[in-house]
Amino acid sequence: MTTMNIYEAKTSFSKLIAAAEAGETVVIARNGKPVAQLGPVAPHRPVVFGDLKGKITIPDDFDQWTDEDESDWFGG
């Protein structure tokens, strides 16, 4: 991780973007104090219908309200 002051970052912005594209994170500071971070963006993974099939289970009684539910929700 690289740290540089704002003035230096402004003058070498293209290099900072290239570093971020390469996976590096750069901390931008004002008077030596970190104020911002520039880094790579995680690739977007599209949502695929059915992607969670077999990974989630729903109990048979999920829609039945019980006395225990009443107690949990309303403290009775």
SS (H, E, C) 24-59: CCEEEEECCEEEEEECCCCCCCCCCCCCCCCCCCCC
Strand 26-30 to 2-5 pairing = parallel
- pLDDT value, residue 1: 82
Q: What is the pLDDT, as a whole number, of residue 62?
A: 87
pLDDT at 14: 94
In contact, 2 and 22? CB cutoff 8 Å = no
- Cα distance between residue 72 and residue 76, in whole Å: 8
CATH number assigned to the domain covering 2-38? 3.40.1620.10
Would you state the pLDDT for residue 76? 66
Asked if pLDDT for residue 75 goes beyond 70, the answer is yes
What is the per-residue pLDDT across 29-72, written as a single tens digit (0 to 9) for each?
A: 999 999 999 999 988 889 899 988 999 998 898 899 988 888 99
